[in-house]
Amino acid sequence: MSINKLILGDCLEILKTIETDSVDLIYLDPPFFSNRNYEVIWGDEGEIRSFQDRWAGGIDHYLDWLNVRVKEMYRLLKSTGSFFLHCDWHANAYIRVKILDRIFGETNFKNEIIWCYNGPAKSTIAFPQKHDTIFRYVKSDNFVFNKDEVLIPYNEATLKRRSYAETKKKGIAFKGKDIEEYSKGRLPFDWWDGIYSGGQMSAKERIGYPTQKPEALLERIIKCASNDGDIVLDPFMGGGTTIAVADKLKRKWIGIDQSVAAVKVTEMRLHKQNYSNLFASTFTVQLHKYDYDTLRYANAFEFESWIIQQFGGTSNTKQRNDFGLDGKMPDGTPIQVKRSDNIGRNVIDNFFAAVQRSDKRLFDNNVTGSKPVGYIIAFSFAKGAVQEVARLKNDENIIIKLVTVEEIVPIAKKPTIKVEINELSRDEKGICEIELAALGQSESGIEFYSWDFNYDSEKGFKADIIRDMEGKQILKFQAGLHNIAVKVVDNDGLESIEVIKLKVNGEVKREK
């Protein structure tokens, strides 16, 4: 199983591909059963489709939608693992009784955690609803619970009372714990306050939507229920808080979401978080479509291994004495990969000879059974290659399958981007107010823009503004050279970057 991975797609289908008993901690904050527009965080097609799907048939449909996904999560959770489901009053009773108790068993229920928070309230006929519910379940009696990792301080009055009693002043006999034990703190009760949400979170942490969960909340959950190196899964990733915190705490992780914006915002959040960390863990991003240029000019050996795996085969671990063959199908039939376009007739000739030398018996059996004697994977094939493959099949009953990369994985072109620079004003100190206007184009449509106002080509892109829907920024610049970068993300999740070297002096101009 690939870890440290962001995956775009419906979690149900992706969960089915994850190995049984392989995940240590699952935290999910699924879309609430509230039918409220604020639940649509990003507004892209994948998220809106999911929002509409779960509402198609009322509460029963919603519970069925969630139930099949939780069943898959139960399957892949280790016997020592823990499960936290975040919900609110709209459906929490249904979720516990009709889903969680039935799947995990009532005896594996451990906590109904009430997370209390503040915020604006409009209600005049009821007490304002200012808490969420987090159900905690385990899979067996042998589960991880690191209580010492999540202790919180006793209040001042308790510490003073215990300290006074310990001195045995006035002949008071002290029968409690030593004051040193109280100084370590206590385990939080099952109602959590003091963990701020919404606008009360720090500006540095906020990424711009009202239901964002605070890092402190996920830090407590991850610390108590997992250890360094454990695998944390969030199947409804949203803004990526679970993934960002898991990465900080040196856990491995998998994040899934149907929203392109959720995946790309989380990706940029991780890059920003690890910007100056040379030892940060690497991660991969799996989208619906792959960028042609990225694949076409990738490391040859890495591309061979990856595309063979996507095709259903196994790549050669050795690069010697393999007759130029790069992998094989489960039945042993050879695969060759060419990271090129317009593969010619000569490749067919060489491959034909190689498959016979590598395993003559398999070759003969495949010919006799009218099965492919081998597969060649490339970006495209020239007319000569196609003609020779047809001749071999028609004249000699020898089948060589030509497979384009796009037949295995969907490919798209990256978006293009242009930036216009307009000086709006200049004060007596020479400080300029400048408008930067980015225009992206893509066949799939533009999702959003991101900006780095102090771009360093060696360290890479660090988003100062992660999500800009219009692509326009107005900033003030002092005289000097300023390195700015803007990224555009399209609806397939593919991106392009434009770097601007802006020289502000007597005039504003773009350096080449």
Each residue's pLDDT tens digit, 444-484: 999 999 999 999 999 999 999 999 999 999 999 999 999 99
Helix (H) or strand (E) holding 512: none
pLDDT above 80 (res 204): no
Least confident of 68-72, 157-161, 408-412: 157-161
Task: Name the class of domain 293-408.
Answer: alpha beta
pLDDT above 60 (res 39): no
Residue found by looking up tokens 């802006």 in the block: 502
Least confident of 29-33, 86-90, 235-239: 29-33
Assigned superfamily of 414-511: Immunoglobulins (2.60.40.10)
Each residue's pLDDT tens digit, 275-304: 877 777 789 999 888 889 889 998 888 899
CATH architecture of 5-150+193-286: 3-Layer(aba) Sandwich (3.40)
Least confident of 84-98, 160-174, 361-375: 160-174
CA distance 400 to 354: 12
Q: Which tokens go with 75?
A: 């399957």
Question: CB under 8 Å, gap of 24 or more: what pairs does 466-472 form?
Answer: 466/207, 466/208, 466/265, 466/268, 466/269, 466/272, 467/207, 467/208, 467/261, 467/265, 471/437, 471/438, 471/439, 471/440, 471/446, 472/435, 472/436, 472/437, 472/438
Residue found by looking up tokens 């709006």 in the block: 424
State the DSSP string of 58-119. Answer: HHHHHHHHHHHHHHHHHHHEEEEEEEEEEE-TTTHHHIIIIIIHHHH-GGGEEEEEEEE---
Q: Which tokens go with 410?
A: 């969907």
pLDDT of residue 324: 81
Judging by DSSP bridges, how do beta strands 480-490 and 495-504 pair with one another? antiparallel
State the DSSP string of 354-417. Answer: HHHHH-HHHHHHHHHTT-EEEEEEES-B-HHHHHHHHHHHHHH--EEEEEEHHHHS-EEPPPEE
CA distance 400 to 385: 10
What would the 3-class secondary structure string for 264-325 be? Answer: HHHHHHHHHHCCCCCCCCCCEEECCCEEHHHHHCCCHHHHHHHHHHHHCCEECCCCCCCCCC
CA distance 138 to 194: 26
Q: Measured between alpha carbons, how far is residue 1 from residues 14, 16, 77, 81, 487 in Å?
A: 12, 12, 13, 17, 30
Neighbours of 317 (CB within 10 A): 8
Phi and psi at residue 88, to the nearest 5°:
-130, -170
3-class DSSP state for residue 438? strand
CA distance 267 to 271: 6
pLDDT of residue 124: 79
Phi and psi at residue 285, to the nearest 5°:
-125, 125
- In the chain, % of residues over pLDDT 90: 68
pTM for the model stands at 0.81
Q: Say if residues 244 and 273 touch (Cβ distance below 8 Å).
A: yes
Judging by DSSP bridges, how do beta strands 284-286 and 5-8 pair with one another? parallel
Contacts of 144 (CB under 8 A, 6+ apart): 24, 25, 80, 81, 82, 225, 226, 227, 230
CA distance 419 to 512: 14
Q: Say if residues 176 and 254 touch (Cβ distance below 8 Å).
A: no
User: What residues does CATH 3.40.1340 cover in the chain?
Assistant: 293-408
Place 161 in a pLDDT band, splitting at 50, 70 and 90.
Answer: confident
Q: Is 170 left (phi over 0), alpha (psi -120 to 50) or beta?
A: left
Each residue's pLDDT tens digit, 99-125: 999 999 999 999 999 999 887 778 778
User: What residues does CATH 3.40.50.150 cover in the chain?
Assistant: 5-150+193-286
3-class DSSP state for residue 37? helix
What would the 3-class secondary structure string for 465-510 be? Answer: EEEECCCEEEEEECCEEEEEEEEEEECCCCEEEEEEEEEECCCEEE
Place 38 in a pLDDT band, splitting at 50, 70 and 90.
Answer: very low
CA distance 450 to 452: 7
Average confidence (pLDDT) over 13-30: 96
| Mean pLDDT value across the chain | 89
